[in-house]
Amino acid sequence: MSHPKLFIPGPTEIAPEVLQAQTRPMLGHRSKDFADLFYGILPRLKQVLLTGQHVYITASSGTGLQEAAVRNAVRPGRKVLNMVAGAFGDRWNKVSVSNGKEAVRVDIPWGQPIRPEDVHAALAAGGFDAVTIVHNETSTGVMSDVGAIARLVHKKHPDVLILVDAVSSASGVRIPFDEWGLDMLLTSSQKAFALPPGLAFAAVSDRMLARAQNVPNRGWYFDLLMLEKYLAAGKTTPATPAVSLLNALDVQLDRILAEGLEARWARHEASMKLAHAWARERGFELFPSSGYESRTVTCIANVRSVDVPAMIAFARQKGMIIGNGYGNLKNKTFRIAHMGELGPDDLRALFVVLDQFLA
């Protein structure tokens, strides 16, 4: 089926066999067939998220798990630190505040990464239960060094839980959850995982579950202890799971592991290099501060002042959809996603089209 190819940072392209898996007949979610599907998925999801601890799957988008993270990690009278370097860090701050958490927000200029010393400086005030960090700020194309942040936090603030939004990077970039000692990593199905929207995945540490025991009012739908209780009892999920999407996930996990995680990460990096070279050779600049460019989405500074909406419309006519800049960055930047199913060959085809426009 011919369709415009998505070079936007979500939803992303989906392999035909993954789409097809959603048409399988329905299963009762208390049936053995469903339990086999669900418990068969979890070990492979752990492999992809690089954890031997806990993984959870929710029928929600990734934002639901931003909510789960703060609701399960932050006790009354204690604070959460929200590092905000773009639109999704801003959202996590709003999610924290609207869930009644005492939130301290640190703003970082858009285009800059979240730096370990900034996290340390803010935590030094004391009284924090957790810090939220967006690994790959999709709005700016900046990828922060979560490993370095985690090292410093563990050293200086060992009781602070490290909550990471990896919505647009997980599976496309190596994020060793256990090795870095992260406490919760959340992601969505429709970005680098290359699935339809509607599922969210989390890796969760033992430490985070222990903390949740001491947090009242965790809510119901996103209570990690409830999810854990059902899983441990062999009862899958408390509420009705998104069966069709789980069928798609089942197929996609096999595809991801068949490609190999190392190969998948390398493919994303190769795409990034190609996008950088194209942008620079055409007289553009990269929006992110040097050394912190995302490996899944390239945010290009429109220093040539090209007519971005016209370029997007031109590409659309040729069957390719790229992204404008986010919010205030609209027309000042544009974004080319290279995550999930997309690779260097797709980008080469896109750049032929964009070159036609620029000529």
Ligand X SMILES: *Cc1c(COP(=O)(O)O)cnc(C)c1O
- Which is it for the CA torsion 93, 111, 292, 197, positive or negative? positive
- State which of positions 180-219 bind ligand X (CB under 6 A): 188
Give DSSP secondary structure letters for 240-270: ---HHHHHHHHHHHHHHHHH-HHHHHHHHHH
Binding ligand X (rule: CB under 6 A), the pick from 62, 113, 196, 288 is 62
Q: Judged by CB under 6 A, does residue 298 bind ligand X?
A: no
Q: Judged by CB under 6 A, does residue 88 bind ligand X?
A: yes
* Cβ closest to ligand X, residue 293 vs residue 351: 293
- What ranges make up the beta strands (E) of the chain? 5-7, 54-58, 79-84, 102-107, 128-134, 136-137, 142-143, 161-165, 184-188, 200-204, 285-286, 297-301, 320-324, 333-337
Q: Judged by CB under 6 A, does residue 112 bind ligand X?
A: no
First to last CA, the chain: 30
Q: Judged by CB under 6 A, does residue 353 bind ligand X?
A: no
CB of 284 to ligand X, least distance (A): 22
Q: Judged by CB under 6 A, does residue 61 bind ligand X?
A: yes
* Cβ closest to ligand X, residue 134 vs residue 175: 134
- Which is it for the CA torsion 73, 102, 177, 267, positive or negative? positive
Tokens for 77?
């009278």
* Cβ closest to ligand X, residue 84 vs residue 134: 134
- Identify whether the C-beta of residue 150 lies closer than 8 Å to the C-beta of residue 177: no
- Identify whether the C-beta of residue 350 lies closer than 8 Å to the C-beta of residue 342: no
Q: Which stretch binds ligand X (CB under 6 A): 26-34, 57-65, 114-122, 152-160?
A: 57-65
* Cβ closest to ligand X, residue 12 vs residue 205: 12
Q: Judged by CB under 6 A, does residue 293 bind ligand X?
A: no
Q: Which amino acid type is present at position 200?
A: A
Instruction: State yes or no: cis peptide before 197, omega within 30 of 0.
Output: no
- Identify whether the C-beta of residue 358 lies closer than 8 Å to the C-beta of residue 351: no
Q: Judged by CB under 6 A, does residue 7 bind ligand X?
A: no
Q: Judged by CB under 6 A, does residue 248 bind ligand X?
A: no
Q: Judged by CB under 6 A, does residue 134 bind ligand X?
A: yes
Q: Judged by CB under 6 A, does residue 292 bind ligand X?
A: no
H-helix or E-strand spanning residue 117: helix 116-123
Tokens for 100?
């009644």
* Cβ closest to ligand X, residue 38 vs residue 88: 88
Q: Judged by CB under 6 A, does residue 12 bind ligand X?
A: no
* Cβ closest to ligand X, residue 116 vs residue 323: 323
Binding mask 135-174 for ligand X (x = CB under 6 A): -x-x--------------------------x-xx------
CB of 243 to ligand X, least distance (A): 19
CB of 40 to ligand X, least distance (A): 24
Given the rule CB under 6 A, which residues bind ligand X? 9-10, 61-63, 88, 134, 136, 138, 165, 167-168, 188
